[in-house]
């Protein structure tokens, strides 16, 4: 399960926290960041909360790498689009043909960009420090349907088996003369002889698996016993409510107009 | 329904070595347990699904109607928050309400569909194809198991995507839900009975998907979901369109094409499947998704020999 996800197994205070607490913290941060109309607040939260959390969770290096791969290209595109082609820009700083570098466009780009940075980096720290199996157990403990936990855990476990099967089908089709090199169109055409057997085999498996699950009374008891019991101290439960309520308070203050 | 039962009864053996009455018993058992277990929560789940759909529609209408005045004032206002929260809450409500209706056979199909979504989507991205192709599994489940199953597949695909590759796709969960639901209803309406009708359904689904996802691309990503699409958004803005209009136009250029191809791939795969595999799904038999009243009949006589 750990090989296919972004989760990094480390020992840290952040890893030991109940996953639900981390999830509530993440959602509270996102709520606050998207409510407040100032661009420096999301960046402040990234600097004061998210990056220190990543260092505390000993995933700082991986976070930096993912930032460079996932987020930086988006931010560059964002500043190119909105900085140069913002439709409502009036203060023109520089002009070249249809492109106009405007103050409004840059402000808009930095507002969206800072929120996006907080959203993506915050979620990444959560995913990097949270074992999916533990997350599912913790969420089931607080009332999530075990069916959702099953689907998510099963998907994560199927990925390696799926890749192995896709590889063997690809080799078999190549042995029969399927060309997988050449132009993108040619490679796209190779997709169908690969997908057909793959999906056929998978659907055949479904029947066996559901029979096995039915035989073990899957979904019969509303509250099944959990293999992993995630500790949920009172302090964390209180902290969850405090974070959630303060995020709601921020949203209310913004809507009422106190923070503008 | 009675037609397919006769079809089952006519064959001496089921292809997997199970006598037909065992299959019938299994289905009867499954439906009885699920309805018995779900009964107390049935109205609650209905309310969840209805509420989720209402939240999504309200979010879209609010963003379309309120957005121009807010942008004129020179800021984003609450558009981004409403787009993110409204769509995520709506998608989550539908997924939670829908998953309780699904029998175990459908539940064990969903992980496979999710993996197909992610694998083919990644493959299309690495091949550098101009389409996403990240909803083949969602459409497949919608067609084989109905709109509720399609919705769950779509929503959970984006969760898995967030856990394995990166959380950037998560705000688009609502689009995946809409695609799964529409694929299910298209199958129910008989759009998969002829191979040339499926691309039409795909085209329509693509238009709806483009409309629903435009506010996300505009207010959360500022039009920058990827390099190629970003260039299109910039071009539309340069010709004087607003941000939301630009992301909508960009979506209308790429989504209908993508979903037309997706639905075509799915219908080709499903037509290539043996009839007995397709007709194993109760939804397929109930709504006669593939058109033939007894789709198992021609394929079966060979089964006992095999």
Rg of chain B over all Cα atoms, to the nearest angstrom:
21
Set of chain A residues whose Cβ sits within 8 Å of the Cβ of B168: 70-71, 74, 120
Strands (E), chain A: 92-96, 99-102
Confidence band (pLDDT; 50, 70, 90) for A29?
very high
- Average pLDDT, rounded, for chain A: 85
Query: Above 90 in pLDDT, residue A190?
Result: no
- Give the span between the Cα atoms of B148 and A176, in whole angstroms: 39
Backbone angles phi, psi at A4, to 5 degrees: -90, -20
| Average pLDDT, integer, range A33-58 | 90
Query: Tens of pLDDT along A204-218?
Result: 788 788 888 888 878
Confidence band (pLDDT; 50, 70, 90) for A221?
low
Q: Which of residues 165-204 of B touch A (CB under 8 A)?
A: 165-168, 170
- Give the span between the Cα atoms of A181 and A175, in whole angstroms: 14
Decide: residue A259, CB within 10 A, 0-12 exposed, 13-18 middle, 19+ buried.
middle
A237 and A209 in a single domain? The answer is no
Question: Which of A78, A139, A151 best probes binding to B when mutated, by most B CB atoms within 10 angstroms?
Answer: A151
Half-sphere exposure of A143 (CA within 13 A, CB side): 1
A70 and A178 in a single domain? The answer is no
Set of chain A residues whose Cβ sits within 8 Å of the Cβ of B107: 147, 150-151, 210, 213, 218-219
Confidence band (pLDDT; 50, 70, 90) for A19?
very high
- Give the span between the Cα atoms of A15 and A156, in whole angstroms: 20
> B115–A205: do the CB atoms touch at under 8 Å?
no
Confidence band (pLDDT; 50, 70, 90) for A5?
confident
A109 and A178 in a single domain? The answer is no
- The DSSP call for residue A37 is -
Q: What is the pLDDT of residue B15?
A: 43
Q: Please check whether residue A6 lies inside any domain of the structure.
A: no
Tell whether B112 lies on the interface with A, counting CB pairs under 8 A: yes
Domain that holds residue A176: 145-215
Tell me the range of A137-146, A188-197, A240-249, B264-273 where mean pLDDT is highest. Answer: A240-249
Set of chain B residues whose Cβ sits within 8 Å of the Cβ of A66: 166
Q: Which of residues 4-23 of B touch A (CB under 8 A)?
A: 16
Nearest-Cα distance to chain A for B154, in Å, is 12
Tell whether B222 lies on the interface with A, counting CB pairs under 8 A: yes
Tell whether B35 lies on the interface with A, counting CB pairs under 8 A: no
> B221–A112: do the CB atoms touch at under 8 Å?
yes
Closest-approach residue (CA) in chain B for A77:
B224
> A155–B220: do the CB atoms touch at under 8 Å?
no
A125 and A185 in a single domain? The answer is no
Query: Which of A57-61, A232-236, B27-31, B176-180 shows the lowest mean pLDDT across its residues?
Result: B27-31
Low-confidence ranges of chain B (pLDDT < 70): 1-40, 67-77, 127-128, 227, 292-306
Q: What is the pLDDT of residue A207?
A: 77
Nearest-Cα distance to chain A for B2, in Å, is 22
- The DSSP call for residue B303 is T
Q: What is the pLDDT of residue B272?
A: 81
A55 and A171 in a single domain? The answer is no
In the structure encoding, which two tokens stand for residue B29, read together? 């058992």
How many CB pairs below 8 A link A and B? Answer: 219
Set of chain B residues whose Cβ sits within 8 Å of the Cβ of A104: 74
Question: Which of A22, A39, A81 best probes binding to B when mutated, by most B CB atoms within 10 angstroms?
Answer: A81
- Give the span between the Cα atoms of A105 and B219, in whole angstroms: 14
> B104–A210: do the CB atoms touch at under 8 Å?
yes
* Closest by Cβ to A218, choosing from B95, B104, B243: B104
A130 and A42 in a single domain? The answer is yes
Query: Tens of pLDDT along A64-117?
Result: 999 998 899 889 988 888 888 877 767 777 777 767 788 888 888 898 899 999
Nearest-Cα distance to chain B for A10, in Å, is 17
Q: How far apart are the first and last CA of chain A?
A: 45
Q: How many CB atoms lie within 10 A of CB B63?
A: 23
Count: domains in chain A: 2
Set of chain B residues whose Cβ sits within 8 Å of the Cβ of A198: 116
- Give the span between the Cα atoms of B222 and A109, in whole angstroms: 7
A122 and A162 in a single domain? The answer is no
Q: Please check whether residue A241 lies inside any domain of the structure.
A: yes
Tell whether B230 lies on the interface with A, counting CB pairs under 8 A: yes
A77 and A32 in a single domain? The answer is yes
A149 and A129 in a single domain? The answer is no
A100 beta partners:
A95
Query: Above 50 in pLDDT, residue A198?
Result: yes
* Closest by Cβ to A34, choosing from B80, B96, B105: B80
In the structure encoding, which two tokens stand for residue A82, read together? 């909105």
Q: How far apart are the first and last CA of chain B?
A: 27
Strands (E), A84-217: 92-96, 99-102
In the structure encoding, which two tokens stand for residue B141, read together? 């489940």
A149 and A125 in a single domain? The answer is no
- Give the span between the Cα atoms of B148 and B42, in whole angstroms: 14
Q: What is the pLDDT of residue A183?
A: 72
Set of chain B residues whose Cβ sits within 8 Å of the Cβ of A99: 238
Domain-by-domain residue ranges, chain B? 2-302
Tell whether B152 lies on the interface with A, counting CB pairs under 8 A: yes
Q: What is the pLDDT of residue B76?
A: 64
Set of chain A residues whose Cβ sits within 8 Å of the Cβ of B112: 158, 162, 202-203, 205-206
Q: Residue A119: CB partners within 8 Å, gap ≥ 6?
A: A30, A33, A34, B167, B220
- Give the span between the Cα atoms of B55 and B60, in whole angstroms: 9
Query: Tens of pLDDT along A118-171?
Result: 999 999 999 999 998 899 989 988 888 888 988 998 898 888 888 888 888 888
A92 beta partners:
A102
| Average pLDDT, integer, range A225-232 | 82
């Amino acid at each position: 399960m750990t090989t296919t996800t972004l989760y990094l197994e480390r020992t840290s205070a952040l890893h030991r926290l109940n996953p639900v607490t981390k999830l509530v913290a993440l959602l509270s941060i996102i709520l606050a960041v998207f409510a407040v109309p100032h661009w420096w607040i999301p960046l402040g939260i990234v600097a004061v909360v998210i990056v220190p959390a990543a260092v505390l969770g000993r995933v700082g290096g991986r976070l930096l790498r993912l930032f460079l791969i996932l987020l930086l290209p988006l931010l560059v595109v964002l500043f190119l689009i909105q900085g140069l082609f913002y439709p409502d820009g009036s203060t023109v700083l520089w002009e070249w043909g249809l492109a106009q570098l405007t103050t409004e466009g840059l402000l808009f780009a930095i507002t969206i960009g800072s929120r996006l940075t907080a959203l993506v980096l915050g979620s990444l720290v959560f995913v990097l420090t949270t074992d999916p199996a533990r997350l599912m157990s913790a969420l089931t403990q607080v009332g999530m349907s075990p069916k959702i936990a099953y689907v998510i855990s099963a998907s994560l476990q199927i990925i390696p088996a799926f890749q192995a099967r896709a590889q063997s089908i690809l080799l078999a089709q190549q042995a029969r003369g399927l060309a997988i090199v050449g132009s993108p169109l040619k490679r796209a055409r190779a997709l169908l002889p690969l997908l057909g057997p793959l999906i056929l085999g998978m659907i055949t498996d479904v029947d066996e698996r559901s029979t096995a699950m039915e035989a073990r009374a899957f979904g019969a008891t509303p509250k099944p016993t959990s293999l992993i019991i995630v500790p949920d101290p009172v302090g964390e439960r209180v902290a969850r409510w405090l974070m959630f309520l303060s995020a709601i308070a921020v949203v209310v203050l913004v809507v009422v107009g106190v923070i503008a | 329904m009675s037609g397919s039962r006769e079809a089952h009864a006519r064959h001496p053996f089921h292809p997997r070595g199970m006598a037909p009455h065992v299959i019938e018993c299994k289905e009867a058992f499954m439906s009885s347990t699920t309805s018995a277990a779900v009964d107390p929560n049935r109205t609650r789940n209905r309310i969840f699904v209805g509420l989720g759909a209402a939240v999504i529609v309200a979010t879209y209408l609010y963003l379309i109607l309120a957005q121009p005045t807010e942008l004129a004032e020179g800021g984003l206002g609450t558009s981004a928050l409403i787009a993110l929260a409204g769509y995520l809450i709506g998608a989550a409500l539908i997924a939670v309400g829908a998953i309780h209706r699904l029998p175990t056979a459908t539940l064990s199909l969903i992980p496979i569909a999710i993996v197909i979504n992610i694998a083919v989507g990644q493959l299309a991205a690495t091949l550098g194809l101009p389409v996403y192709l990240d909803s083949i599994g969602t459409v497949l489940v919608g067609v084989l198991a109905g709109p509720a199953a399609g919705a769950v597949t779509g929503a959970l695909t984006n969760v898995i995507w967030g856990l394995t590759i990166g959380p950037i796709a998560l705000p688009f969960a609502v689009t995946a839900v809409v695609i799964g639901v529409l694929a299910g209803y298209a199958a129910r309406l008989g759009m998969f009975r002829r191979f040339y009708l499926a691309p039409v359904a795909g085209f329509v689904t693509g238009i709806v998907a483009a409309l629903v996802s435009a506010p996300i691309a505009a207010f959360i990503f500022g039009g920058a979901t990827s390099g190629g699409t970003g260039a299109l958004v910039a071009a539309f803005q340069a010709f004087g369109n607003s941000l939301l209009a630009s992301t909508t136009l960009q979506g209308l250029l790429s989504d209908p094409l993508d979903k037309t191809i997706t639905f075509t791939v799915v219908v080709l795969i499903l037509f290539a499947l043996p009839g007995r595999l397709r007709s194993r799904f109760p939804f397929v038999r109930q709504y006669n998704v593939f058109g033939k009243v007894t789709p198992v009949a021609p394929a079966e006589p060979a089964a006992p020999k095999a």
